[in-house]
Amino acid sequence: MFTVGAGLNYIKMPYPVPLAGYQARAELAETQNDPLCARLLTVEGDGGSVAIVALDVLYVDSDLTDLLRTAVSAQTSIPPSSVMVCSTHTHSGPGLIFPNSNRYDSSIVDSIITAVSEAAGRAWSMRTACELSWASGDIVGVASIRNGVTGEAGPANQALRVAEFRSVDRNLAGVPRFVARAINFGCHATVLGPGNALVSRDWPGFMVDACEEQLRRAGVQRPFVIFLNGAAADVSTRYTRKAQTFEEAARLGRMSADQVFDVFASSGPSRTCHVCLKDESISIPRRQLPSEHCALAAISREEREARRLASCGGSPLALKEALDRAAAWRIVLNRIRHEHGRPRNPLVAHLCLLRLGDLAMVFVPGEAPAKLGDKIRATVAEGASVPEESVWVVGYSNGHLGYISPMRAGPDGYEQLMCDLAPEATEEILTAVARLSSKGMCVDQC
């Protein structure tokens, strides 16, 4: 038996506020379409306890992660190291929360910390005895590989993982009074484009709302749903969305919720109530930056290609990819100018492997591409002696390395250009995951 708590709070925005996620967005957000949330799940079981936080923001860096871990621990008996801090990666959330950027507003960070702290207090005060069931499958028609070598880009099935903690306390009809549902698959929250100037959770928010409504209709008094984004570096709705509107975000959100419902229909109970967490920090070297002349030439080249495509009626997607590459090169140029003469110190990646009953959840601090996510799942399945269907890959968690994209043959895509890590980063991450999965993470040992 698990003891589970769930808390939800809204993040208050000091409007007007710039939004994070798109270089091309110039307009400030004056209000919201839908509120940003701090969702928090606490789980106690045999061997330990853990808290999982999901925030509707672009990402959470290591500094804010540490602050949030401390805030959650102060409201619970869960140690800071056992608090997982994740983001849904909405591109319609606040900017100004990243200390290393040129602009920073501590009042927004304070609002996020307050929201998480209050959510943690609510979760801890309403803990309930629960049983865990889980299911796995694919989600279809929502995600697509947005960039790739010839033949790769296009709609793609994504691994879908669903778990539910259901309270032992039930009503007269036998329906659990409390259900906490966790959902995991990888896809950028970018139905809404740079033209949007309203705060929004994008399609994940609509999915979570639809799932909670499904549970209410089933008679659940206290439904709670948390979305944990996965290996989504090169996965978005680019080839599946019909428009970049709130109506389309709602359509894809509801479609996702329906498929979550269908997959969970074949769920089974967890065999154990173990909670076990292992973590490891590794140092990852950064890639060598090109010269400023090289970056300027690349920007000019991509902009010329974009103008050519626009003038000759070329493919809109090809035009967008050229513009994206130019945008990526501008970010590289900013790095070159900002770090001129400074040493390129390695980045620290904090990796966590959590066992919740039958589930093995890997928390990765950055944007992993879909194929790397597949490799991580396979590595954990082999090392921990668990079925691959029970392995979750949670990206955008416990810090942020940016894109974790390996070098590839042929011209670089957006993700490769944006990646600030040395080519060996992916192998070092996989090696660390293999070490974690072999450290007593088997069910019988945990």
Q: Residue 150's pLDDT is what?
A: 44
Q: Residue 443's pLDDT is what?
A: 47
The beta strands (E) that lie in 116-217 are given as: 128-139, 144-145, 154-155, 158-167, 178-185
Q: Residue 102's pLDDT is what?
A: 65
Helix and strand totals (H; E) in the chain: 9, 16
Give the 3-state secondary structure of residue 39: strand
Q: Residue 268's pLDDT is what?
A: 97
* Helix 246-264 / helix 202-217 crossing angle, nearest 10 deg: 50
Q: Tell me how far CA of residue 230 lies from CA of 233, 281, 371, in angstroms.
A: 9, 20, 12
User: Consecutive sets of 10 residues in the chain, 446 residues long: mean pLDDT of each?
Assistant: 97 94 90 98 96 97 96 97 98 88 85 98 97 97 76 78 98 96 97 96 98 97 98 93 97 98 97 95 92 94 93 86 88 88 90 96 95 96 94 97 73 80 92 89 50
- The strand pairing partners of 294, in sequence order, are none
Say how many CA atoms lie within 13 Å of 168 toward its Cβ: 9
What lies within 8 Å, CB to CB, of 160 at 6+ separation is 136, 137, 138, 139, 183, 184, 185, 259, 260, 263
Query: Is the backbone of residue 191 left (phi > 0), alpha (psi -120 to 50) or beta?
Result: alpha
Task: Please name which of 5, 39, 428, 444 lies closest in space to residue 211, comparing C-alpha atoms.
Answer: 39
Query: Is the backbone of residue 382 left (phi > 0), alpha (psi -120 to 50) or beta?
Result: alpha
Task: Please name which of 22, 4, 33 lies closest in space to residue 245, comparing C-alpha atoms.
Answer: 33
Task: Please name which of 191, 200, 188, 152 lies closest in space to residue 13, comparing C-alpha atoms.
Answer: 200
Q: What are phi and psi of 100, to 5 degrees?
A: -80, -5
Distance of alpha carbon 402 from alpha carbon 423, whole angstroms? 14
Q: Residue 394's pLDDT is what?
A: 98
Q: How far is CA 230 from the centre of its chain?
A: 5
Distance of alpha carbon 339 from alpha carbon 341, whole angstroms? 6
One DSSP character per residue, 173-193 reads TS-BSEEEEEEEE---B-SS-
Count of Cβ atoms closer than 10 Å to residue 195 Cβ: 11
Give the 3-state secondary structure of residue 304: helix
Distance of alpha carbon 61 from alpha carbon 298, whole angstroms? 29
Query: Is the backbone of residue 399 left (phi > 0), alpha (psi -120 to 50) or beta?
Result: left
Q: Answer whether 270's CB lies under 8 Å from 313's CB.
A: no
- The strand pairing partners of 362, in sequence order, are 353, 393
Q: Residue 423's pLDDT is what?
A: 86
Distance of alpha carbon 112 from alpha carbon 13, whole angstroms? 9
Residue 113: what residue type? I
What lies within 8 Å, CB to CB, of 289 at 6+ separation is 332, 335, 336, 339, 344
Find the farthest-apart pair of alpha carbons in the chain and give their distance in angstroms, rounded: 72
Task: Please name which of 384, 327, 330 lies closest in space to residue 360, comparing C-alpha atoms.
Answer: 384
DSSP 24: T
What lies within 8 Å, CB to CB, of 446 at 6+ separation is 47, 272, 274, 276, 355, 440
Residue 16, preceding peptide bond in cis (omega within 30° of 0): yes
Count of Cβ atoms closer than 10 Å to residue 338 Cβ: 10
